[in-house]
């Protein structure tokens, strides 16, 4: 688990946890959609590093207005380079067939949410085994020339941060 402070303007903390072999993804997905769980479930295959989530969350919290209905869907929307809400949520959210998921909460105590998950919490470094670098490069349109001059994480975070200004 990572617990880190966000921008001083929002004065909030973010918790990020990684779970593997989750058996109740469908139930969790329904609960988050209905608002019973206040969190964001992210498909870890498109996440290079937790910093990517921190940037998207911070951006969601400091925004003057939201594009989506909740802070948690805004996080998913901000992770994507797409300006299409549905595509962003489908791409970065979880589906019923996911077995691994990242849980993001913007609060100090996430124990109520964590107790709902029927899976094994693992260290975030296990993300390296789960993520799909080829899918990440495709999603963020990272070409060979760019790969030679910068890290994938820098490329991804730059796109997340500049999504409102540049079309990819």
CA pair distance 55, 7, nearest whole angstrom: 10
Tokens 């805004």 locate to 74
How many domains does one find in the chain? 1
> In this structure, is residue 72 part of a structural domain?
yes
> In this structure, is residue 133 part of a structural domain?
yes
Between vectors from CA 103 to CA 79 and to CA 77, what angle results, nearest 5°?
Answer: 20
What is residue 66's DSSP assignment? -
> In this structure, is residue 119 part of a structural domain?
yes
Dump pLDDT digits (tens) for 115-129: 999 999 999 999 999
Query: Which residue range(s) make up the domain with 116?
Result: 2-162
> In this structure, is residue 88 part of a structural domain?
yes
Please state the pTM of the whole predicted model. 0.92
Q: Reduced to 3 states, what is the DSSP secondary structure of residue 126?
A: helix
pLDDT > 60? residue 168 = no
- The CATH number of whichever domain residue 40 belongs to comes to 3.30.2380.10
> In this structure, is residue 167 part of a structural domain?
no
CA pair distance 168, 166, nearest whole angstrom: 6
| CA of residue 142 relative to chain centroid, distance | 19
CB of 35 within 8 A of CB of 125? no
> In this structure, is residue 168 part of a structural domain?
no
CA pair distance 98, 21, nearest whole angstrom: 9
Dump pLDDT digits (tens) for 5-45: 787 878 888 999 999 999 999 999 999 999 999 999 999 99
């Amino acid at each position: 688990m990572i617990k880190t402070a966000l921008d001083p303007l929002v004065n909030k903390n973010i918790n990020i946890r990684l779970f593997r072999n989750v058996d109740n993804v469908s139930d969790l997905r329904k609960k988050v959609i209905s608002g019973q769980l206040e969190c964001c479930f992210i498909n870890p295959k498109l996440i290079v590093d937790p910093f990517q989530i921190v940037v998207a969350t911070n951006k969601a919290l400091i925004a003057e207005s939201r594009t989506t209905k909740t802070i948690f869907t805004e996080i998913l929307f901000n992770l994507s380079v797409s300006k299409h809400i549905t595509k962003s949520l489908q791409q970065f959210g979880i589906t019923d067939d996911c077995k691994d998921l990242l849980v993001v909460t913007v609060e100090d105590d996430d124990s109520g949410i964590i107790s709902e998950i029927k899976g094994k919490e693992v260290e975030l470094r296990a993300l390296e085994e789960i993520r799909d670098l080829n899918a990440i490069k495709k999603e963020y349109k990272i070409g060979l020339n760019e790969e030679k001059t910068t890290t994938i994480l820098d490329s991804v975070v730059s796109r997340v941060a500049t999504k409102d200004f540049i079309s990819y």
